[in-house]
Amino acid sequence: MSIMQVDYSTKIPNNVNLGEDRQVLKALEGWHPGYIDWWHDMGPEGFQQSLVYLRTAYSVDPRGWAKFDYVKMPDYRWGILLAPQEENRVVPFGEHYGEPAWQEVPGEHRAMLRRLIVIQGDTEPASVEQQRHLGRTAPSLYDMRNLFQVNVEEGRHLWAMVYLLQKYFGRDGREEADELLRRRSGDEDSPRMLGAFNEKTPDWLSFFMFTYFTDRDGKMQLHSLAQSGFDPLSRTCRFMLTEEAHHMFVGETGITRVVQRTCEAMRAAGIDDPADVAKVRALGVIDLPTIQKKLNLHYSLSLDLFGSEVSTNAANAFNAGIKGRYRETQIEDDHRLQSSTYPVLKLVGGEIKRVDEPALTALNMRLRDDYTQDCVKGLLRWNKVISSAGYEFKLGLPHVAFHRAIGEFKDVHATPEGLLIDDASWAKRGDDWLPSTADGDFIASLMTPVTEVGGFAPWIAPPKVGIDNKPGDFEYVKIET
């Protein structure tokens, strides 16, 4: 059997020859019931008996890897899929630069590697937990299907990390795998590991912002782990990235459709000032200033996921050959970074300044900069929708010092423009920049579900094309309760 094809004859679909790897298969089969319990307890609320038009990977060939069909979510075949092994792959950075990539965990870096895998693994079920209520208020069957697609694939990403833990880390790997099913997003006693994954995703605009901004942090992390000298991790992450692209598509097009609908409604009503919030809201659409506030929130929460700008952990992981830079192999330098520097935004004497730091310790900052650049693309699209409708309003990314809980700016307050302000001004103006309770209540008031085939809630435009090229009146979810 070729590595491209996925073996569906075992209980756990895979392309890693689990059929002949009895010990790992046994460990995974032992973990499976707990996963299914977790899915029932913490996965999408309701709709578990509905047929959902989902894609499932049948191959890891980038030219064609998924097939679409109706599946009940609990019957989704969560599998272990690794991208094909590259022949003669070498460690592409760090102290081991140029040495053959490792097929086994190097003993000296075991703890660090395990920690990175656990942190990545923890985010996957967390987002499913955060989004579990959203099916009930889906603005269409199309959107509901996209939500469930993202959810089952995040579940698969958890499997991907659990496979690595169980295959390569022995007993402590198995314990970590169990812990991944025990923590819960937002739980007081055993929360998920990272801040943004303990926040609420209360409505569909949050969901789109989350898939645009927070899944994109995931993309950056997966890209840098895909560079890893530990080859099984690299191959796992490479395949996860193919699935991840759809999650960000859901976010980007979702926000586009909200913005589009708002602009259409404003035009039809003859509204010239998009900042006239009350007038726009009276139309039953989400005003652009509120969309900006949601964007501010999700972007700043996602920036925190990159950790401290200056970090010896990041330097160690790079030196060790465990976690590289975004598109490491395409960067033209020595890939060791022993003597180079990188400009870092820091707080110096009460001012925000750019300071050259050793490139090695500034790796988080660099990845975050790459992330910001990647985020800009969506903003250009959304702003084009707004300007095409004849409005001057522009959505923008807030300054990196705005609303931060981690890193250089965690102890100061800054405006979205990056102006430092005192506590009193922040207390006064905070509601202008972040969604207030009233904003949340208004958005919640729009979240009435639309489950008729081909129907869409009035606050969001239909998509340009269907999933898998299906027509507008396609029944993406056959609801069975």
Within 13 Å, how many C-alpha atoms sit on residue 141's CB side?
23
Interacting residues with Fe ion between 23 and 42 (CB under 5 A): none
Complex with Fe ion: residue 176 or 215, whichever CB lies closer: 215
254 CB-contact burial (10 Å; exposed 0-12 / middle 13-18 / buried 19+): buried
CB count in 10 Å sphere of residue 132: 19
Q: Does the CA dihedral 402-317-333-62 come out positive or negative?
A: negative
Complex with Fe ion: residue 124 or 304, whichever CB lies closer: 124
Q: How many residues bind Fe ion (CB under 5 A)?
A: 6
Beta-strand runs (E) in 12-77: 51-57, 66-72
Complex with Fe ion: residue 243 or 328, whichever CB lies closer: 243
Complex with Fe ion: residue 78 or 459, whichever CB lies closer: 78
Q: How far is the CB of 210 from Fe ion (least distance, A)?
A: 9
Complex with Fe ion: residue 122 or 215, whichever CB lies closer: 215
Q: How far is the CB of 121 from Fe ion (least distance, A)?
A: 10
Judged by CB under 5 A, the residue of 132, 247, 366, 403 near Fe ion is: 247
Stretch that binds Fe ion, among 209-217, 279-287, 303-311, 324-332 (CB under 5 A): 209-217
Q: How far is the CB of 280 from Fe ion (least distance, A)?
A: 31
| Nearest CA among 394, 296, 303, 422 for reference residue 414 | 422
Q: How far is the CB of 375 from Fe ion (least distance, A)?
A: 15
Q: Which residues are CB-contacts of 206 (< 8 A; sequence separation ≥ 6)?
A: 200, 294, 298
Beta-strand runs (E) in 299-426: 341-348, 351-358, 413-414, 420-421
Stretch that binds Fe ion, among 102-110, 237-245, 388-396, 447-455 (CB under 5 A): 237-245
Complex with Fe ion: residue 52 or 147, whichever CB lies closer: 147
Q: What is the CA radius of gyration of the chain?
A: 23
Interacting residues with Fe ion between 303 and 332 (CB under 5 A): none
Q: How far is the CB of 239 from Fe ion (least distance, A)?
A: 11
Interacting residues with Fe ion between 354 and 393 (CB under 5 A): none
Stretch that binds Fe ion, among 51-59, 96-104, 214-222, 261-269 (CB under 5 A): 214-222
Residue length of the chain: 481
Q: How far is the CB of 150 from Fe ion (least distance, A)?
A: 6
State the binding string over 397-436 for Fe ion (x if CB under 5 A, else -).
----------------------------------------
Give CA–CA dist 464/33, Å, rounded: 40
Residue 216 contacts Fe ion per CB under 5 A: no
The kind and range of the H/E element at 477 are: strand 477-478
Q: How far is the CB of 437 from Fe ion (least distance, A)?
A: 29
Q: How far is the CB of 43 from Fe ion (least distance, A)?
A: 14
Give CA–CA dist 449/45, Å, rounded: 14
Stretch that binds Fe ion, among 137-145, 243-251, 367-375, 386-394 (CB under 5 A): 243-251
Structure tokens that stand for 445 in this block: 């008031």
Interacting residues with Fe ion between 87 and 146 (CB under 5 A): 124
Complex with Fe ion: residue 220 or 401, whichever CB lies closer: 220
Whole-Å CA distances, 296 to 48, 209, 342, 427, 444: 34, 10, 26, 16, 19
Complex with Fe ion: residue 233 or 280, whichever CB lies closer: 233
Residue 215 contacts Fe ion per CB under 5 A: yes
Q: How far is the CB of 40 from Fe ion (least distance, A)?
A: 20
Residue 223 contacts Fe ion per CB under 5 A: no
Q: How far is the CB of 187 from Fe ion (least distance, A)?
A: 20
Give CA–CA dist 97/334, Å, rounded: 9
Torsions phi, psi for 32 (to 5 deg): -55, -50
Within 13 Å, how many C-alpha atoms sit on residue 21's CB side?
16
Complex with Fe ion: residue 27 or 160, whichever CB lies closer: 160
Interacting residues with Fe ion between 145 and 174 (CB under 5 A): 154, 157
Q: Check if the beta carbon of residue 400 is closer than 8 Å to that of residue 368.
A: yes
Complex with Fe ion: residue 128 or 317, whichever CB lies closer: 128
| Nearest CA among 236, 213, 212 for reference residue 121 | 236
Give CA–CA dist 143/359, Å, rounded: 42
Q: At which residue do the structure tokens 């609420």 appear?
A: 200
Complex with Fe ion: residue 236 or 364, whichever CB lies closer: 236
Q: Which residues bind Fe ion (CB under 5 A)?
A: 124, 154, 157, 215, 244, 247
